[in-house]
């Protein structure tokens, strides 16, 4: 890394972090104005709102627009360099065009790594904080959601190759359900049947508490019935395996999400493509940051009439095309038969060719 590399890299990172911090402040102000009634209803106080909501909201909103702000930052400061005739002397001095792109490559890889790690582990933890607040204080106030939401909260799932279970009226927040049943089927015949009036997760013992439990064991000689008023059971499923709310895919870390997808596939559940697209997109988005860095540098590195305004206009058109491609591929996967991995990587695949085309056409 030479002085020129550090000069460009410092401009790149300082512009990006300034833009993302400024936007985060604006987003907080707008969000606070929209949720004032919810904050008053929660009675959490200032620090309670900060720790109980904004500790999750700020990482979420930053990660959501991270690639876009990398793109804007690259276009903004590179366009300034081009308008000040700083790039032409660099290339005229004998430095190759690819050599000029080196600090952009380093900066893009650095930011891509940060976003990749955050998407895998940090953002899901933040979404747990944000979603817990919204599920308790925001979603319940939405009269439209109350009108159209599905009131059937029963869950049916497969524990292993022979055991099936179900819970009626399960609440993911309190981790409690009513009317639990479990059946073991061997050779198409029910050999064991377990029923209880309620099931509750015991956070201290990491086991399930069953109340008013009836055990039925079927054998060739007859049926054996056993009753227990309370039972502490260690089943092969945990509350995280029973998550069925709209925040599930957002608040699971990547290892947890992969395990959850595997579990849902063994149960034969529907709507798994949505979960898979989310899992694959966490990797694809980090590559998106790198590609947008190169596209922004190549577009803004050319001095054109109109200055930064023309570069920003081209940049926003490119970003809009990327978002549209991403949305279409996601819909075709979740609502159609497009494989989730292909859906997550289609935008990046297309924009790899865009990078190659722009690089070949760039004046060197």
Q: 123-133 and 254-267 helices cross at what angle (nearest 10)?
A: 70
Question: Are 127 and 275 contained in the same domain?
Answer: yes
Question: Are 134 and 32 contained in the same domain?
Answer: yes
Q: Is residue 81 part of a domain?
A: yes
> What's residue 306's pLDDT?
58
DSSP string, 96-139: -HHHHTHHHHHHHHHHHHHHHHIIIIIHHHHHHHHHHHIIIIIG
> What span, in angstroms and rounded, lies between the C-alpha atoms of 226 and 63?
53
Question: Are 49 and 128 contained in the same domain?
Answer: yes
Question: Are 37 and 120 contained in the same domain?
Answer: yes
Instruction: Yes or no: say if 100 and 88 are a contact pair by the CB < 8 Å rule.
Output: no
Question: Are 190 and 130 contained in the same domain?
Answer: no
Question: Are 167 and 208 contained in the same domain?
Answer: yes
Query: 11-31 pLDDT, tens per residue?
Result: 999 999 998 999 989 999 999
Question: Are 177 and 204 contained in the same domain?
Answer: yes
For residue 294, what are its two tokens? 């190169």
Question: Are 137 and 160 contained in the same domain?
Answer: no
The pLDDT averaged over each successive group of 10 residues in the chain (364 residues) is 85 92 92 89 88 92 90 89 84 87 93 95 92 78 42 68 82 80 86 90 89 87 86 83 72 88 74 86 92 90 69 74 79 81 90 89 78
Q: Is residue 56 part of a domain?
A: yes
Question: Are 19 and 134 contained in the same domain?
Answer: yes
> What's residue 15's pLDDT?
92
Instruction: Yes or no: say if 70 and 108 are a contact pair by the CB < 8 Å rule.
Output: yes
> What span, in angstroms and rounded, lies between the C-alpha atoms of 182 and 192?
8
> What span, in angstroms and rounded, lies between the C-alpha atoms of 343 and 324?
12
For residue 189, what are its two tokens? 């015949």
The pTM (predicted TM-score) of the whole model is 0.77
How far apart, in Å, are the Cα atoms of 327 and each of 307, 331, 334?
31, 6, 11
How many domains in the chain? 2
> What's residue 210's pLDDT?
92
Question: Are 187 and 80 contained in the same domain?
Answer: no
> What's residue 16's pLDDT?
93
Q: Is residue 249 part of a domain?
A: no
State residue 177 phi and psi, 5-degree precision. Answer: -140, 160
Q: Map residue 43 onto helix, strand or coil.
A: coil
Question: Are 285 and 236 contained in the same domain?
Answer: no
Query: 114-151 pLDDT, tens per residue?
Result: 999 999 999 999 998 998 888 778 875 544 344 344 44
Instruction: Yes or no: say if 245 and 140 are a contact pair by the CB < 8 Å rule.
Output: no
Per the structure, the complete domain to which residue 86 belongs is given by: 3-141+271-361
Question: Are 114 and 195 contained in the same domain?
Answer: no
Q: Map residue 237 onto helix, strand or coil.
A: coil
Q: Is residue 198 part of a domain?
A: yes
Q: Is residue 262 part of a domain?
A: no
Q: Is residue 147 part of a domain?
A: no
Q: Which residues pair with 218 in a beta bridge?
A: 223
End position of a domain, from candidates 218, 240, 262: 240
> What's residue 269's pLDDT?
66
């Amino acid at each position: 890394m030479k002085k020129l590399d550090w000069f460009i890299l410092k401009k790149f990172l300082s512009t990006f972090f300034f833009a993302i911090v400024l936007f985060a402040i604006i987003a907080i102000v707008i969000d606070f104005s929209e949720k004032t009634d919810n904050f008053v209803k929660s009675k959490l106080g200032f620090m309670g709102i900060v720790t109980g909501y904004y500790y999750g909201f700020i990482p979420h909103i930053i990660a959501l627009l991270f690639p876009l702000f990398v793109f804007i930052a690259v276009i903004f400061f590179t366009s300034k360099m081009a308008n000040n005739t700083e790039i032409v002397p660099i290339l005229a001095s004998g430095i190759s065009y690819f050599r000029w792109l080196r600090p952009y490559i380093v900066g893009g890889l650095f930011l891509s790594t940060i976003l990749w790690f955050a998407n895998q582990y940090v953002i899901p933890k933040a979404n747990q904080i944000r979603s817990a607040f919204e599920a308790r204080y925001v979603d319940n106030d939405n009269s439209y959601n109350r009108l159209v939401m599905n009131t059937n909260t029963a869950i049916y799932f497969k524990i292993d190759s022979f055991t099936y279970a179900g819970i009626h009226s399960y609440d993911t927040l309190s981790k409690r359900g009513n009317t639990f049943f479990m059946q073991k089927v061997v050779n198409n015949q029910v050999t064991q049947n377990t029923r209880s009036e309620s099931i509750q997760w015991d956070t201290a013992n990491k086991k399930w508490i069953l109340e008013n439990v009836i055990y039925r064991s079927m054998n060739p000689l007859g049926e054996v019935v056993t009753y227990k008023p309370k039972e502490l059971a260690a089943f092969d499923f945990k509350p995280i395996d029973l998550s069925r709310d709209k925040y599930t895919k957002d608040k699971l870390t990547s290892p947890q999400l992969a395990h959850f997808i595997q579990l849902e596939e063994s149960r034969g559940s529907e709507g798994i493509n949505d979960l898979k697209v989310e899992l694959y997109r966490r990797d694809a988005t980090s590559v998106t940051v790198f590609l947008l860095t190169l596209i922004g540098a190549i577009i803004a590195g050319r001095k054109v009439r109109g200055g930064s305004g023309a570069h920003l206009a081209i940049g926003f058109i490119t970003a809009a095309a990327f978002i549209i491609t991403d949305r279409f591929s996601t819909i075709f996967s979740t609502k159609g038969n497009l494989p989730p991995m292909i859906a997550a990587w289609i935008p990046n695949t297309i924009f790899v060719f865009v990078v190659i085309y722009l690089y070949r056409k760039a004046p060197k």
